[in-house]
Structure 1
Amino acid sequence: MKVRLLLVHLFCVLAFAKTFAQQQDTVSLPTYPIQFSVVTPLSTDRINELDPEKTIHNFSFNMFLGKNGGVNGFEGSFLANYIYQDMYGVQMAPIMNYVNGQTQGVQMAGVFNASGDRLRGVQMSGVSSLAQGNVQGAQLSGAVNIAEKKVKGAQLSGAVNVGINEIKGLQMAGGVNVALSYMNGLQAAPINVAIAEMEGAQIGAINVNTGTLKGSQIGAINVGGKVQGSMVGVINVADSVKGIPFGVLNIVRHGYRSVAFESNEVWRGMLTYRMGSPVFYNIFTAGYMWDGNYQRYGLGYGIGTQFHISRKNHFFMELTATHINEDEGWTDQLNLMSRFHMGVDIRIAPWMTMSVGPAISLLTSHVDQGNLTDTQGYPAPALSVFPNWWSEQNGDLYMAVWGGLQASIRFGSFRKLDRSKY
């Protein structure tokens, strides 16, 4: 009964393997249905004993290390398998599978799989997989996958994926993905690196593309060359961006930068630095106010966007948040002014613009408001244009909303801000 069950299982394995098999070899070699070996040359096949690279078997089982000219079906071992030419079907071993020629089917090993030529199918290993030819299918390993030529499919590993030539498909790893040539698809890992042109997306903690990226980078730190798409992260660095760099800090070599001297109803003097892309830029502000009785200063951060309306003019909208320090080096209590500002920038020189526009501000504070408001309740005693539109005291929390104006003179790298260019 056990013998019958064994034969049934053997038949099923052979039938499964034949779904991957190709009936012709690259080199014409004699084909034999079955062989068993302890370690080459101790084999049931006399030819295999004398010259193992000159035989092909439909079923091959090796106790330890077995060598064959080729396999057209199934090969298994308790240690390792080595094939001189091609493997069509299934190859299984706890340590290593190595095919010197092309592989069409499945390689499963506890440690290492290698295909010296083209791989069409799946490599699965506990540690690493290597395909030296084109890959059409998938490489799955616990640690490292390496494909030296084109990949059409997926590389999935617990640590590192490396595609040396063109990749069309997916790279996913627990550690690092590396594409050294053209990449079309998705890279997802804590660290993703694409050296050449990439079309698709990089998703991870750190994403790096040194060529042209047509797609998206999503991560904590994104580094791109020429980006045609979006960058979403905490820090975005690029040579140029035709799209949206959405981040806390955007550094674009051929992007938008300006330094401005500004004044409004809250700050008599304010220094502002803007950087990023015209479509989305970061704002860093420092303001100062003194009226003889007290002084205050503020440090703020914000974001903005610009719309081209004519050759020399553009419309902008900005949102900032500023921490206000009252008559001391640093005010520990909540004392935050949120402000929305918009206007039209008019270019008066290639390197200078001027603007005036309305603003609306919200003050949220735990600070005693005696130093912030005059008897009329204005948030800026000397310069407020409008009284409070709304204010409320709730315990030690004070909130107020008012309108105002802001004037600015900007100096920087101004270009025609046409959204079709960014």
Structure 2
Amino acid sequence: MRNRICLALALFFALGGLPTQAQNSSASVLERKVTVTFNQAPLESVLRTLRRQYGVRISYSNTALDLSQPVTLSVQNQSLRFVLNIVLAGKNIGYELVGDQVVLHSITPSKPGVDSGANAASKGTATKATATTSSTPSKPQSSKPLPSKKKAPQASTAVAANDTAKSGTQSVQTAAPATSASVASVPSGSVDTLTATASTDSTAQLATPEVAAEKTRRPTVTKQVQVSFLGPLGSNGLRSGQTVNRVSLNVLGGYSAGVNGVEAAGLFNVDRDSVRGVQVAGLANVVGRNLTGFQGAGLLNVLGGAGTGWQAAGLFNVATRPVSGAQTAGLFNYVGPSKKAPQVATDENNDAKMLPGRPTFQAAGLFNVALGEVRGAQAAGLFNVGGMVRGVQLAGLLNVADSVAGVSIAPLNFVRRGYHRVEVINTESWPVSASLKLGGSPSFYTFFTGAYDGFGSRDRRWGLGYGVGTEVFAQRRVSLSIDAVAMHVNEESRGWTEDLNLHNQLRLMVGFAPLKAGGRLRIVAGPTVSVLVTQRYDTERAQVYSSLLQNRSLWLDEGDTNTRVLGWIGYSVGVRL
């Protein structure tokens, strides 16, 4: 009988200790020491790392939870409970311990309390003091957010956790984006307050600009080296679009989040975000955002943001934002306008701003287009289009710009806020001569000119030509300019003289503003030097001759039976508008 009683008591105590043993085993899961470092890693990647390295069983639903949120964290020898509280802070995700398994679930964020002024501050202080000093046992309860009156001030992120002995339930709650994180854990039978100050790059420390940037930036991880054959067929696999590589080698083509080093491909490179370093490809490079460094391709380079460095392509370069550096292409270059001043400063906006004074150079076989500011030079075989040009525009046919602080050199120059003048003069050779002068600035302009002589009983002759000029100096009343013009002269009442009959003239023009200082109307006058190169044969004189030579005192008379070169001194006087 005695043995039976002893056996029954032993069995009773053994069965009674099983829940306690299971409870201690479950609780020990959250007390495991963890050492991890994450930098903008997706939440799903963080959970997989904890499960793989520390044997933690974590269950969750991929569809119910947003596991793409970035995590930045660095802890050493901290409990799993502490790490989970920090990782899940502000993500509307809670967790509870079921046996030895951590189960994640979504929670509904509660609105912050309407406490303000000294009352809110006193309530927060009193709550903190109460939570710190009290250690009375509490009844086990399920996971739920703390009341609004016990929340921390809006300048911090409160993470409240209730851990019971039976269920081990944890609840994570965010009060507002802030600069610090408070983790309150409630173990069985006591209430303790734990405050953790996150580092400046922690995801728990979110200011309003960073929240805006997080919406536009997808989380990424950094890899030292990646090798791929085509797209996801490489070392990064399906994670290529979330990986920033330091060294990236693509046999045919590759896709990645970005490059912070060197990237090379046989055909093409595609980067979702930014490139810092060197990127070369046999055919094309496509970058979703910004470039800092060198980008070279056999056919084309496409840049979705701003650039600092050099783009070189066999056909064309395209950048949607200003490029501080150089663009060289066989056909054309394109640069988009500057981004409007943003309300929130982010890394993208800072990169998109063109630093003042940075040179910009565009060279292309056909044309260049820069809708923003150009500091440096544009050179093209056909035409250039620029916004505000601070430097030189050089084209074989046409330059177009909004304004020019420098020179535009081309047969045609159209600058909206440039040099536009109409000039009508009388010279010793032409009773009437008119010119239309166009340029980016008075320092260099081009003009079309025409002249006519056929009034009265004299034989009619007329000429058309083209010239260039510069305004040496301009005061409010007085200006000095030098023009060089060449006109083809048509004589003997013919529609067009086919023989060479070219009148070249150098004019030194002094201008005076008679009405008001700085006025557009100026009276101009000055000496001229003329040189006529002609092959026109005069049948009456039976020699090479032009009617422009009548009554001229020649200082130059050279040539042979086919071509004559003759020179004389003259004058010009007129008005300029």
TM-score, normalised to structure 1's length? 0.72
Aligned residue among 488, 491, 496 for 1:330? 496
1:226 aligns with 2:388: yes
Query: Equivalents in 2 of 1:223, 1:355: separation in Å?
Result: 33
Q: Which residue of 1 aligns with 2:378?
A: 217
Query: Equivalents in 2 of 1:267, 1:370: separation in Å?
Result: 23
Which amino acid in 1 is paired with 2:363? I
Q: Do the aligned partners of 2:503 and 2:531 also contact (CA within 8 Å) in 1?
A: yes
In structure 2, stretches of 5+ residues that fail to align are 1-36, 53-219, 339-353
Q: Which residue of 2 aligns with 1:242?
A: 405
Q: Which residue of 1 aligns with 2:485?
A: 320
After TM superposition, the structure 1 = structure 2 runs for residues 263-274 of structure 1, keeping only pairs within 5 Å, are 263-274=426-437
Partner of 1:188: helix, strand, or coil? Answer: strand
Greater helix content = 2
Q: What's the CA shift for 1:138? A: 1.8
1:93 aligns with 2:229: yes
Query: Equivalents in 1 of 2:508, 2:328: separation in Å?
Result: 39
Q: Which residue of 1 aligns with 2:186?
A: none
Q: What's the CA shift for 1:308? A: 2.6
1:362 aligns with 2:535: no
Deviations 1:130-183 (A, max 9, x none): 122231112222332122222111111122212222211111112221121231
Which amino acid in 2 is paired with 1:352? L
Aligned residue among 358, 361, 382 for 1:201? 361
Query: Equivalents in 2 of 1:265, 1:312: separation in Å?
Result: 26
Aligned residue among 288, 293, 299 for 2:464? 299
Q: Which residue of 1 aligns with 2:74?
A: none
Deviations 1:350-382 (A, max 9, x none): 33211111111111110125789xxx9984436
RMSD: 2.7
Q: What's the CA shift for 1:395? A: 2.0
Aligned residue among 173, 192, 205 for 2:333? 192
Q: What's the CA shift for 1:221? A: 0.6
Q: Which residue of 1 aligns with 2:313?
A: 173
Deviations 1:191-222 (A, max 9, x none): 11111256410001211111111111011210
Q: Which residue of 1 aligns with 2:266?
A: 126
Q: Which residue of 1 aligns with 2:451?
A: 287
Aligned residue among 103, 109, 132 for 2:250? 109
Deviations 1:220-245 (A, max 9, x none): 21001111111011211001000011
1:142 aligns with 2:278: no
Query: Equivalents in 2 of 1:295, 1:161: separation in Å?
Result: 58
**Higher mean displacement: 172-181 or 332-341:** 172-181
Q: Do the aligned partners of 2:229 and 2:254 also contact (CA within 8 Å) in 1?
A: no
Q: What's the CA shift for 1:393? A: 3.1
Query: Equivalents in 2 of 1:371, 1:169: separation in Å?
Result: 68
Query: Equivalents in 2 of 1:348, 1:335: separation in Å?
Result: 38
1:256 aligns with 2:445: no
Please tell me whether Structure 1 or Structure 2 has the larger radius of gyration of its CA atoms.
Answer: 2
Deviations 1:51-77 (A, max 9, x none): xxxxxxxxxxxxxxxxxxxxxxxxxxx
Q: What's the CA shift for 1:397? A: 0.5
TM-score, normalised to structure 2's length? 0.54
Q: Which residue of 2 aligns with 1:5?
A: none
Q: Do the aligned partners of 1:87 and 1:101 also contact (CA within 8 Å) in 2?
A: no
Partner of 1:100: helix, strand, or coil? Answer: helix
Aligned length: 331
Which amino acid in 2 is paired with 1:213? V
Structure 1 residues 238 and 396, CA gap change in structure 2 (3 angstroms) = same
Structure 1 residues 144 and 335, CA gap change in structure 2 (3 angstroms) = same
Q: What's the CA shift for 1:284? A: 0.7
Structure 1 residues 370 and 318, CA gap change in structure 2 (3 angstroms) = farther
More relative contact order in 1 or in 2 (CA 8 Å, sep 6+)? 1
Deviations 1:391-420 (A, max 9, x none): 023121011011110112112xxxxxxxxx
**Higher mean displacement: 324-333 or 345-354:** 345-354
Deviations 1:90-149 (A, max 9, x none): 414266556233333332324321112x41122222332112223111222233212222
In structure 1, stretches of 5+ residues that fail to align are 1-23, 33-83, 412-422
Structure 1 residues 136 and 145, CA gap change in structure 2 (3 angstroms) = same
Identity of aligned residues (%): 28
Which amino acid in 2 is paired with 1:139? Q
Q: Do the aligned partners of 1:85 and 1:100 also contact (CA within 8 Å) in 2?
A: no
Q: Do the aligned partners of 2:229 and 2:253 also contact (CA within 8 Å) in 1?
A: no
1:381 aligns with 2:550: yes
**Higher mean displacement: 121-130 or 167-176:** 121-130
Which amino acid in 2 is paired with 1:104? N
Aligned residue among 508, 519, 528 for 1:342? 508
Which amino acid in 1 is paired with 2:405? K
Query: Equivalents in 1 of 2:449, 2:434: separation in Å?
Result: 6
Q: Which residue of 2 aligns with 1:352?
A: 521
Structure 1 residues 378 and 404, CA gap change in structure 2 (3 angstroms) = farther
Query: Equivalents in 2 of 1:195, 1:203: separation in Å?
Result: 16
Structure 1 residues 354 and 105, CA gap change in structure 2 (3 angstroms) = same
Query: Equivalents in 2 of 1:400, 1:247: separation in Å?
Result: 29
Which amino acid in 1 is paired with 2:262? V
Query: Equivalents in 1 of 2:385, 2:426: separation in Å?
Result: 35
Deviations 1:1-51 (A, max 9, x none): xxxxxxxxxxxxxxxxxxxxxxx8745759x9xxxxxxxxxxxxxxxxxxx
Query: Equivalents in 2 of 1:371, 1:306: separation in Å?
Result: 43
